Amino acid sequence: MRGSDANQGAMFSYVDLNERVPCTHPLRRLKQAVDFILVSMSPQFDARYALVGRPSIALERLLRALLLQALYTIRSERLLVEQLDYNLLFRWFVGLGVDDPVWDHSTFSANRDRLLEQMLLREFFNRVLALADWARLVSDEHFSVDGTMIEAWASHKSLVRKDRNDPPDESGDSGGSNAEVDFKGETFSNATHQSKTDPDARLHKKAKFAEAKSCVT
C-alpha cells in the first residue's frame, strides 16, 4: 500500500537529540573531551562577567559552536547560525534543544570578538588540540597544500597600516566588528599593511586581475 505524503505539523515534540546521533559518530568522543575542557575553564568564564545583569550567550555553547565552524569550514557566523537553526547534529553538539531559539548572527559575532580580545578562544582551542592529540583523536599524517588556497579568518576591514600610531579611543567605542572603513585611494600590500585579527595572514591573488584575499601562508 502506498504511503501518504500528507504533511501535518505536530503539536508537541518528543525528539531526543542524543538518540538521533549515532553512537559511532566521531563528534561524540570529541564532545566528551570538549565538555571536560569547558568545565575546567568555568572559573575563568565566571571572572569575566558580573554577578547581576542580563544573561549573555553561554560561553560554553559559543565555544562549541566556534569549534564546529572550524571543523566544518563554515565561512561565516551568519551561515553557522543558519545551520544551528536546522541541523540537529549541530544543535546537539552545541547544547541547544530542538525548540531552543538560535542567537542572531550579529550578537554571536560580538561575543566572539570579546573572546578573541581576552585570549580565551586561543586557550580553548589549544586545550582541545592537546587533549585530542592525547586521546589519539587526531592524525599526524602529513600532507601539503597551497597556502594561497586557504582563506584566513580575517576580513579586509581588519587591515591597518603597520606604521599607524592611532591615539587611544577614550570613548571606548571602536565601531564594532563591522565598522565602516574608507579605503578610497589606499593601496594595500603585505609590506605596508597587516591584519589586526590575524597578523600572520597575507594578501594573495591567483591571477593578475583577480581579487586579493587574506590567506594563510
154 and 73 share a domain?
no
Block residue for cell numbers 555553547: 61
96 and 159 share a domain?
no
The DSSP secondary-structure symbol of 167 reads P
Residues 29-69 pLDDT 10s: 899 989 999 999 999 888 877 788 887 788 899 999 999 99
Is residue 180 domain-resident? no
Domains in the chain: how many in total? 2
33 and 98 share a domain?
yes
33 and 122 share a domain?
yes
Dist CA 47 CA 25 (whole Å): 35
92 and 151 share a domain?
no
Question: C-alpha cell of 30?
Answer: 570529541
Residues 58-98 pLDDT 10s: 889 999 999 999 899 888 888 999 999 999 999 999 999 88
Q: How big, in percent rounded to 5, are the helix, strand and coil portions of the chain?
A: 40, 5, 55
Is residue 5 domain-resident? no
Which residues, in sequence order, are CB contacts of 124 under 8 Å at separation 6+? 37, 38, 41, 63
Element (H, E) at 160: strand 159-161
134, 154, 178 - which closes a domain: 134
The pTM of the full predicted model, rounded to 2 decimals, is: 0.64
**Could you list the residue range(s) of the whole structural domain that residue 103 is in?**
17-134
Cα–Cα distances in angstroms (integers) from residue 95 to residues 23, 81, 150, in the given order: 17, 14, 30
Residue 132: the pLDDT is 83
Is residue 139 domain-resident? no
Q: Give 178 or 17, the one with higher predicted confidence.
A: 17
